[in-house]
Structure 1
């Protein structure tokens, strides 16, 4: 049973990455464009451009979430997203109380640790990172083959 679960790990990780990236991007879109319920605390509005730190956090959420969703530059995007959520927790939420359940910071903590996990695991299956790595491996393998053995390249 463990063998089957281990073989499914890249797919489970890929689905995890897709869901977390999508949810994070939705938060950014809501804050920047007023869609999906709008920015929290503004009753369906948007965060004014350039407002510190909310607008910058929303840009990180939208762009970082989209990159993680696609599995493109996953580790770097997840690192920045994780850091932004750590900042949100310690700067915004922890002032109210020590524990996330008391200060409303559960979502920030969950996103922070989810993205930190992706920093160390990578994108898993279904990501652009994996496709690019495969292509790079194929290209380097072809370069090492003698010219007569290489497959013809379509123009």
Structure 2
């Protein structure tokens, strides 16, 4: 293989790695922003609250209030990419718990039990936990030290 071909192959790999990191960062930021919004809906009544009239979950109630805390705090950590893998494992587990305890007893299929959002969040956060935060994450700055 010629030196020119090696350089082109190397450039392609670098470009692909940057693209992969950017796409992963976009998935991380968008998903965590939506997750924070969902937590704020239950905790603070954002976007009509839990009842469409600005209602919130009762303080300290299980699992609603604690789920909201995880959605807000975990979502914020994932959004900025700080302790991303740990926060993503916590959020993935919380959504798996929500799916199996709240939704799955109603019906087997996620569409039938209205658990598709919990299932998707669980899998996306698990993916983030495995792959890491991608680009533009505070974890990347911490790692450089």
Where on the TM-score scale, by shorter chain, does this alignment land: which range?
A: 0.7 to 0.9
User: Which of 54, 57, 69 in structure 2 is aligned with 1:59?
Assistant: 69
What is the match of residue 89 of structure 1?
A: 99
Computing the radius of gyration over CA atoms, which structure comes out larger, 1 or 2?
Answer: 1
**Cα distance in 2 between the residues matched to 1:7 and 1:56:** 36
Closer/same/farther in 2, CA of residues 50 and 42 from structure 1, 3 Å limit:
farther
- Structure 1, unaligned runs of 5 or more: 137-155
**Cα distance in 2 between the residues matched to 1:133 and 1:113:** 26
State which drifts further: 124-133 or 3-12.
3-12
User: Which of 110, 117, 122 in structure 1 is aligned with 2:120?
Assistant: 110
TM-score normalised over the length of structure 2: 0.87
> 1:108: Cα distance to partner?
0.2
Q: How do 1:4-153 residues align onto structure 2 when only pairs under 5 Å count?
A: 4-39=15-50, 41=51, 43-134=53-144, 136=145
> 1:35: Cα distance to partner?
1.4
**Cα distance in 1 between the residues matched to 2:134 and 2:48:** 31
For residue 45 of structure 1, give the secondary structure of its aligned residue in structure 2: coil
Q: Give the superposed CA RMSD.
A: 1.6
**Cα distance in 2 between the residues matched to 1:59 and 1:7:** 33
Moved over 3 A (4+): 2-7
For residue 111 of structure 2, give the secondary structure of its aligned residue in structure 1: helix
**Cα distance in 1 between the residues matched to 2:80 and 2:131:** 15
**In proportion to residue count, which structure has more helix?**
2
